[in-house]
Amino acid sequence: MRTWAYLLGGLIVWTVHFFAVYVAASIFLTSTTARVVTALVTFVCLAAATTLTLRGWAGRVGATDPERRWIHTIAALSGATAFLAIAWQGLPALLI
């Protein structure tokens, strides 16, 4: 179970960000509070995705077993994909 959470970590972070942004937009509508909450959630989730990507890449480089190397590679790619998606979703809140 822990390996699956590691493999899908980036997608989990992206999902948390997605729902948090929509909840903030639904509760606070178009106020400044919604933008601030969205920006904070975006920065926290970007940090989590970056951490996952860097840990996955570091584990990939140090792994000798092909299976462990594959797991770390998928985790790093999942984190990098999440980073791009979170940045794209959070961009409107960060502009003006």
| 15-35 average pLDDT score | 89
Query: Helices (DSSP H) in the chain: which residue ranges?
Result: 2-7, 9-28, 32-62, 66-94
**DSSP state at residue 95:** -
pTM for the structure as a whole:
0.87
Q: pLDDT tens across 66-75, in order?
A: 888 998 999 9
Would you say 63 and 57 are in contact if contact means Cβ atoms under 8 Å apart?
A: no
| 47-62 average pLDDT score | 90
Q: Which of 41, 75, 45 is nearest to 57 (CA)?
A: 75
| 29-53 average pLDDT score | 91
Q: How far apart are CA 27 and CA 92, in angstroms?
A: 17
> Mean pLDDT over all residues of the chain?
89
Q: Is the pLDDT of residue 96 over 70?
A: no
